[in-house]
A and B are shown apart, each in its own frame.
Chain A
């Protein structure tokens, strides 16, 4: 027993030093910085304790608007990705032959390697006036939606889709075929089986994927500047306050919003077993 404990301690020490001490320490330092202030002109941090950053964050309307907008976009992106990913993952895991499965996995993984920026610019090109979307939709009497929040949601959903497909696929692979057969033997229609058996089994994996899509969308500030038109998200506020205003304390205060949202989210989904499905 003692031996097991020693072994556990020895094995866990390096990763915990790295993540528990270094990473959490860095986060803690960031939170402390949010309680400091900054000289606007010289950009130097002044170690003077104050809650002013948080007061500004809570009382100035524009930050609330941006927070709500960001969460809504992250939620939309997640739902779109889940809806798209589930049938694909089901097809990959339960219909495709082993050979096709392998090809499909490659097909889904490959876009992850093409640069994020270039993909975002490709969308910009497709969305532009006279771009591919106009070209395809034109005969139907429709137009490209142009740059804006809709374009941002579409682009982000596109960028993060593989992060949803992969965990769901892996989750569905673990679902034994015998379970599907049992359901069918008991007289369930195929669609009923999907809704009553497959979907509940895949749920933790869907939640696992949602951690990626939600978090990645919530922190994005590049794609929105490329296809977002005039829109800005929480990530832009953080980035502008570091880059433009050189105001780390306020930026740090803004980051508490996504940190809090993700911690709550993780706490809620912990019970679904999603965290083992990442």
Chain B
């Protein structure tokens, strides 16, 4: 490498310092899940396992966790289909309005969640007249997740060019066969990267969800939010968050292993 030793050391020190700051609150969350004081006073007067026990018995938290996973998977599936279609559609075409299409795809993530949330909620309930449900949450989440898939796939397509597809077509394969045997395998890691980010975006989303979820459904962030309004539930929420932090390493690590092109995996 071309960087001086001093510079590399400086960069490393800086990175380590920022990571320390990033992880301090998270460590605190884990630590507080053992704190006997239910308002998390510092330092903890004593440690206990009773919150972990209470959280283990909280069926509300568990079912909210599954709801969140379900919503995030469905939203990601929709985003994968629509995002891939959009990026394939824009591939090698230079039609007027291409920029407009890109803008429309980016808009849901570029506008603050509260705008998207009330716009969709208003559209669902007063214009379409459909009751809010998990379906409306999935629709709302998919709307702002499309962009993550779109961008990953588009970047990959740009890098690859169209030569392989062209060759496949020249050899007599139809468009579907070409997609199945040529395009899709080339896109796999880009799709995985897009899906991962999309899943993450949906999983912890609270603002848009607040406005588009029905009375009886709860995603995990909503469950957490509502439990902050109950006496005595704060520590249990902490346990749930601690579990999430610890569990989150698993899918991210797996995704990292699965995808060879490290560059695209995270975007």
Footprint of B on A, CB under 8 Å? 4, 7-12, 14-16, 18-20, 22-27, 29-30, 33, 84, 87-88, 90-92, 94-95, 98, 101-102, 104-119, 121-123, 125-126, 128, 130-132, 135, 158, 161, 166-167, 169-170, 173-174, 177, 180-181, 183-184, 190-191, 193-194, 211-212, 215-216, 218-222, 235, 238-239, 242, 248, 251-252, 255, 258-259, 262, 265-266, 270, 275-278
By beta carbon, the residue of chain B nearest A265 is: B110
The answer to whether A170 touches B115, judged by C-beta atoms less than 8 angstroms apart, is: no
Chain A residues lying within 8 Å of B241, measured Cβ to Cβ, are 114-115, 118-119
The one of B29, B81, B206 in contact with A222, judged by C-beta atoms closer than 8 angstroms, is: B206
Q: A173 to B41, alpha carbons, bound, how many Å?
A: 43
What would 28 A/B residue contacts be, using CB atoms closer than 8 Å? A7-B89, A11-B88, A15-B83, A26-B122, A88-B11, A95-B1, A95-B11, A98-B262, A102-B256, A113-B248, A114-B248, A115-B221, A115-B244, A118-B29, A118-B241, A158-B25, A161-B18, A170-B263, A173-B262, A174-B263, A177-B1, A180-B1, A216-B112, A219-B111, A248-B118, A258-B111, A262-B111, A276-B151
A190 engages B42 (CB within 8 Å): no
Which chain B residues numbered 111 to 126 have a C-beta less than 8 Å away from chain A? Answer: 111-116, 118-120, 122-123, 126
- Give every chain B residue within 8 A of A33 (Cβ-Cβ): 122
Known: A106-B249, A215-B110. Is A15-B25 also a contact (CB below 8 A)?
A: no
Q: Is the CB of A255 within 8 A of B115?
A: yes
Given contacts A25-B123, A251-B118, contact A218 B99 (CB under 8 A): no
Tier of interface size on chain B: 35 or more
CB pair B123–A26 under 8 Å, yes or no, is: yes
- Return the 4 tightest CB-CB contacts between A and B, nearest first: A219-B112, A113-B248, A11-B89, A26-B123
Instruction: Name B residues whose Cβ lies closer than 8 Å to a Cβ of A.
Output: 1-4, 7-8, 10-12, 14-15, 18-19, 21-26, 28-29, 32, 40-43, 81-83, 85-86, 88-90, 92-93, 95, 99, 101-116, 118-120, 122-123, 126-127, 142-143, 146-148, 151, 154-155, 175, 197, 200, 203-204, 206-207, 211, 220-221, 224-225, 228, 234, 237-238, 240-241, 244-245, 247-249, 252-253, 256, 262-267
